[in-house]
Chains A and B, each alone.
Chain A
């Protein structure tokens, strides 16, 4: 397996949750989560050239569109996996950062969750890995 193929399959485990729409959520403390796009999502999109993110203080319902990321070929809406208020937006994002390091320094927003139990129906790392492996298989 090549290096590139391995990278898109990276699915960190500790405290990470995933969505079918390829966002990741990490639990920072009891109420606050960090959200971004997965390595796999970035890989499918290609190099990210532009994005739109909400402002600090904006509130969203679970599964509402909160922004978008785009490459030259595709636009991809971002779905907020939990209800809550945006408490921080990554101000250091650059196209390189979000493309090269989408699951660490390329994070998008931090959200204070307004409802308990919103994490319960998200995917665990094992299920997410299975999902992307199946997707890759069907594509190649």
Chain B
């Protein structure tokens, strides 16, 4: 039985094409994934991301627990700031990637994690908690989550929240702020998965449908479209943002994935020793490539070759709506990982000429 988000009736009303996604029933697309994608680049789109898991780590040991589990510099995170983070295992493999919100330094944090990893993460953090499980709470029961993304998102959200007309909502990148919406608190963070300006909004289940409808009604003049998972996936691919399960998993380390910038934890954390060893010799790198012809969509697991010899594997691929070209992401041996390197990518069992390119695929 698939889980439904609070917004399921809104999706039906908007004629969303519903599919199963990691145990959830979610809209793949509404008016069409290409249109939705281009509209986020040009105007603004709204996504239901309520399937994302929310974990709260609360109490006097909160910082200690997070410093043990997370790779980034949690202690440096100030109040109302957000930070991209990784959970790693002892071998340095990535257990999950997430956004950490600091509600109160040292004692109150939210972790926004991948839907498919939610139970695993909860278990993982609990098992590394000294003072008992009450420190880690499952906050999914309390929150729905929307993403409002695109250059017009700041103006639209200001309008929806009843700020002064013509004013843009100013939250700096990686900051978050509480607002009042219909008498309840919502948490707005200037984060996203598209490369555009925009916000991710935690809202109560009770008010979530009203916020969704408010955004669409007030968003008409801004060109706001309800947008689905398919557009979300191509938007993140153009930016080379990793998708856990495709591009990251427990046998991939942050250094190979190009995420060394998120390994800043100065303390002794789970995986720290393994990660310092890996850093000295990175054997493979996560790169972006572009096919020379529209032979098909690069699929996860397909081989990447150099002069006929396998040197890597595809992890994600799509026809990029912005470039109108077939693009992909994958791991290749370090010596073949520089831009302009000629490769072949197996598409429907045939090697197709391709080239490693600089990323992100589009300049922002």
A contact set with B: CB distance below 8 Å:
2-5, 43, 46-47, 49-50, 52, 68, 70-73, 75, 95, 99, 139-140
Contacts and interface: CB of A to CB of B under 8 A. Distances in A.
B33 A47 contact: yes
A135 to B, nearest CB: 12
B57 interface: no
Contact of B318 (A52, A72, A95): A72
A52 B347 CA distance: 11
B28 A72 contact: no
Contact of A72 (B17, B18, B230): B230
A69 to B, nearest CB: 10
Interface of B: 12, 15, 17-19, 28-29, 32-34, 230, 233-234, 294-297, 299, 318-319, 326, 348
B29 A46 contact: yes
A46 B295 CA distance: 18
Nearest to B294: A50
Contacts of A43: 17
Nearest to B234: A72
A2 B19 CA distance: 18
Given A47-B34, A72-B318, A52 B348 contact: yes
List 7 tightest A-B contacts by C-beta distance, closest first: A49-B319, A2-B15, A4-B15, A72-B318, A50-B296, A70-B297, A47-B34
B319 A50 contact: yes
B296 A52 contact: yes
Contact of B28 (A3, A5, A46, A75): A46
Given A72-B234, A72-B318, A72-B319, A50 B28 contact: no
A50 B15 contact: no
A140 B18 contact: yes
A75 B349 CA distance: 13
User: Taking each of A4, A49, A95, A139, which has the highest tally of chain B beta carbons within 10 Å of its own beta carbon?
Assistant: A49
Contacts of B17: 4, 43, 46
A81 to B, nearest CB: 22
Nearest to B34: A47
B296 A70 contact: yes
Contacts of A46: 17, 28-29, 32-33, 230
A73 B28 contact: yes
A42 to B, nearest CB: 11
Contacts of B19: 139
A5 B233 CA distance: 24
A52 B294 CA distance: 11
Contacts of B18: 139-140
14 contacts: A3-B15, A46-B32, A47-B29, A47-B33, A49-B319, A50-B295, A50-B326, A52-B348, A72-B230, A72-B233, A73-B233, A75-B299, A140-B12, A140-B18
B230 A73 contact: yes
B169 to A, nearest CB: 31
Nearest to A68: B348
Nearest to B317: A72
Nearest to B229: A73
A50 B32 contact: no
Nearest to A49: B319
Given A52-B296, A72-B297, A139-B18, A47 B233 contact: no
B108 to A, nearest CB: 38
A54 B204 CA distance: 53
Given A49-B294, A52-B296, A139-B18, 5 more contacts: A46-B28, A46-B230, A50-B296, A71-B297, A72-B33
A50 B230 contact: no
Nearest to A51: B296
Contacts of A99: 32
Which of A49, A72, A73, A140 counts the most chain B CB atoms within 10 A?
Answer: A72
A47 B12 CA distance: 20
A75 B297 contact: yes
A117 B19 CA distance: 37
A50 B347 CA distance: 11
Nearest to B350: A52
A79 B102 CA distance: 54
Contacts of A5: 15
A112 B322 CA distance: 40
A3 B15 CA distance: 8
A68 B350 CA distance: 14
A117 B17 CA distance: 37
A39 B18 CA distance: 16
